[in-house]
Amino acid sequence: MKIKKSPILLSIIALLVLSSCAKKQMFHRADAENRETKDINLNLLKKDRDNNLYYHKKFVTFRFETKNDSINIQSRLTGNLNVNMSCISDKKGTLSISKKGMKKAPQSGFTMPIREGYNDLNFTLSLEKGQHLIIQNPDGLDIIFSKPIIYRSLPAEERTNVFLISVDTLSSLHMSLYGYNRNTTPNIDQFAHDSVVFLNAFSNSSWTVTSHMSLFTSLHEHEHQVEERAEYKIKNQKLIRVKPPSFFPLSYDVPFFVEDISDEFVAVSYNGGVKVDALFGFYRGFDLYWSNNDLYSPKAGSVMFEEARDKLSESTFPKAFYFLHTYHVHAPHNPPAEFLNKIPRETQLREFDFNRDLGGNKCIFKETDDGFIEDVKALYDAEIVSFDHYFGEFITFLKDNNLYQNSMIILLSDHGEEFFEHKRWAHGSDLYNEQIRIPLIIKFPEQKYQGKSIEENISLQDVLPTIMDYYGIKYPKNIRGRSLVPLIKSGKTLKRPIVSSIYRFKPFELLPGKIAVIQDNYKIIFNKRYTQETFKYFTYPPPKIMHTVELYDLAMDPGEKVNLFQKNNIPQKDKLFEYIKRIMEEMDTAQRKAEREEKISEDMLERLRTLGYIDK
């Protein structure tokens, strides 16, 4: 039977649809009707794949809206609303906040004090249909405004928060949760009871820039092509830079997944900067990307969590995605005494600085006595204990403020750390497990799937697809990672190889490129050969590369000491060898293409200099 669609019925349906949409839309990024970019240094403006503009200055990057004496905004939302926005002012002063109807003069409002530098502004007001929000600068300050976020506040227990927490340089091999012999992570161990723990998680590189970009793009290093590179020459065993370091940020053609997440969530980051600096493209999609450059602070993790707590208290977004990153356990290792005292080892070593105590990058192969190595490990472990303490405080804050139950919390690292297990220090120089075995722990809302331990090999490339799949956000299909939701829910195996590499984009340019592939219990590593420059540069010679290809059974040989590649009875060997050859060919092809494009760019620059269009 057909139902006649009367105008009244259609009107009712339309109202229901509009009502449903209004309920779903809890926030929006408002556009100013008088947007201006006058008198702005255009070098400070960046963009993303959708051509949204961002303002970047020193340690802060935010979505750019205008530089003007006043902002006139019409909100798509009405009623009692909250507003959050950033601004940078040349000096302290006040802002005037008011509202007006379509044809009326501004109604009386209120003023807000602002300080010199960066300001995070939060206020509430009630807007009726047709009313505009007016923000005025009566003191004539020089102010850059971010895009305002206008939102409806929800009770804390109904807010949806995602916390992606990256602890730079945290190796799962030094965590009690993963079987380490020291009780380094009691709070994380407790948190794991509410979570899914991945027992065999690997980073896609042993270097921060490459690894984090693989996390956010779900691509291999030769596909995202993000790096920092300096041109240099060697003279008398010293590295002399010919040019300052060049940044090769993420191409606008390559999707950065936060851009898609930010369609559904307000996106905020408090991070350590340096190798996750906005200059590489990490800002894309974030409403606020704040970098502390906290590489040397023994309380870096505490500061990061404090910033997140303040933001959660002041800006009560209905849906928010937080990327929290810290160098808390990264060298130099200088843990507070209260945490070092919890490590059961008598040591006179109170801090360790890689440059001061070992001689820096050219001394990564320096051999020391076992006692010194164990003392450095103790400092590293103490920093893990201290981070665990601050993490526990953050979890308590979330619980006390009714924010824990409905939150997704992901704890991971970008790579591990080596303490001479394979004749080298630190990270970024190899792909053994000390450098690429990482923690991955995911707490889902309402503790869904809690208590599960997953043994299958997974990588950082799987994390963002998992978040997006869980919240129904579409992501590109031509990527390397996979959503882990089917694996968690039903045990549906992924059965695919994991790739990790420091092939072209690596911190030690004079070390040969390496690629590792892990599948099931086996791991194959391809090593390029050393060059003569390698031996000229490093003060202590690198260990000999006995074989171009290494193969290890990680179940029987977790320390990767017995190379099985010369043996013929390994069922996975041929398949893994063919796969790593294919990846190597892809990387070599991508490198040749990039070098041609760079040569063309240099040639074009030289022509422009010759023609006088740019200075020589």
Cα 457 versus chain centre, distance? 21
Q: Which residue has 């472990």 as its token pair? A: 381
Report helix, strand or coil for 344.
Answer: coil
Residue 69 confidence (pLDDT): 85
* The pLDDT value given to residue 569: 87
How far is 414 from 297, CA to CA, in rounded Å?
Answer: 19
Report, as ranges of residue numbers, the positions in the chain whose pLDDT lies below 50: 1-5, 10-23, 604-605, 608, 612-615
Collapsing DSSP to helix, strand or coil, 456 comes out as coil
Q: Which residues contact 86 (CB under 8 A, 6 or more apart)?
A: 60, 62, 118, 119, 120, 121, 145, 146, 288
**Cis-peptide, bond into residue 332, ω within 30° of zero:** yes
Q: If you ran DSSP here, which 8-state letter would residue 358 be given?
A: I
What span, in angstroms and rounded, lies between the C-alpha atoms of 70 and 136? 4
Q: Look at residue 239 in the predicted model and tell me its pLDDT.
A: 63
Q: Taking the domains of the chain in order of start, what are their residue ranges?
A: 33-152, 158-223+252-495
Tokens of 63: 């979505």
Domain 158-223+252-495 belongs to what topology? Alkaline Phosphatase, subunit A (3.40.720)
- Give the pLDDT score at 538: 86
Burial class (CB in 10 A: 0-12, 13-18, 19+), 592: exposed
Which class does domain 33-152 fall in? mainly beta
Instruction: Write down the residue that tokens 């091999």 correspond to.
Output: 173
Q: What pLDDT is recorded for position 100? A: 87
Can you give the pLDDT at residue 119? 97
Q: What is the pLDDT of residues 202-249, one digit of tens each?
A: 999 999 999 999 999 999 999 999 988 766 666 766 666 666 677 889
